Amino acid sequence: MQLLVDIVVKGGNLLLNIGPAPDGTWPEGAYTLLAEMGRWMKINGEAIYGTRAMAPYKDGKVCINSKGDDTWYLFYMAEEGEAMPASMTMNGLTMPAGAKVTMLGSDIRCAWKNGENSFTVFTTPRLRKDPPSDYVWVMKIGK
């Protein structure tokens, strides 16, 4: 999922190269990969489809893109086994006044604050305890 996000936030597309074995069957790993991607996309697909690149694109484990003029998506790309952090900071831009932040797959609102040419989103204990998806967590920022 991190490869997909890294490519999409920079304006690219990911092509999966999954081919059949000589006997026409797919390897078991292909089914596993596609099932995991499908579960993640069911929750977070709106942050992938129809979006466009948005500078500064990526800052460490945090990435950003947009849809239309009023919606941003902030991605946190966790390391294997890493718990959701209490906050996520994106350097290089600030959020517009009145922005609302929720995690995709949840209706829980998250607090945020602007810094000097940066912004930080604060996750709730409830989200950290039971995240709606794995691998990459996505915050929706809108009005």
Q: What is the CATH number of domain 2-142?
A: 2.60.40.1180
At residue 17, the pLDDT reads 85
Residues of 30-61 as b/e, b for ≥16 C-beta within 10 angstroms?
eeeeeeeeeebbebbeebbeebeebeeebeee
The tens digit of pLDDT for each residue in 51-103 reads 999 999 999 999 999 999 999 999 999 999 999 999 999 999 999 999 999 99
Q: Is the pLDDT of residue 116 over 90?
A: yes
Q: Is the pLDDT of residue 20 over 90?
A: no
Residue 11: pLDDT band (50, 70, 90) is very high
- The DSSP output letter for 45 is G
Q: For 4-27, what is the mean pLDDT?
A: 91
Q: For 108-133, what is the mean pLDDT?
A: 97
Q: Are strands 62-67 and 109-115 parallel, antiparallel or unpaired?
A: unpaired
